[in-house]
Amino acid sequence: AQRVTQPEKLLSVFKGAPVELKCNYSYSGSPELFWYVQYSRQRLQLLLRHISRESIKGFTADLNKGETSFHLKKPFAQEEDSAMYYCALKAAGNKLTFGGGTRVLVKP
Amino acid sequence: DTGVSQNPRHKITKRGQNVTFRCDPISEHNRLYWYRQTLGQGPEFLTYFQNEAQLEKSRLLSDRFSAERPKGSFSTLEIQRTEQGDSAMYLCASRSLGQSGNYEQYFGPGTRLTVT
**Percent of chain B topping pLDDT 70:** 93
Residue B84: which region, alpha, beta or left (left: phi > 0; alpha: psi -120 to 50)? Answer: alpha
Report pLDDT for B99.
56
Confidence bin at B101 (pLDDT 50/70/90)? low
Residue B14 Cα, gap to closest chain A Cα (Å): 26
Report pLDDT for B75.
97
Question: How far apart (Å, rounded) are the C-alpha atoms in residues B75 and B8?
Answer: 13
Residue B111 Cα, gap to closest chain A Cα (Å): 11
Report pLDDT for A31.
84
What pLDDT tens digit does each residue of chain A (108 aa) get? 789 999 999 999 999 999 999 999 998 888 889 999 999 999 999 999 887 778 889 999 989 989 999 999 999 999 999 999 999 998 776 789 999 999 999 999
Interchain CB distance below 8 Å, A4 and B42: yes
Residue A101 contacts B where some CB pair is shorter than 8 Å: yes
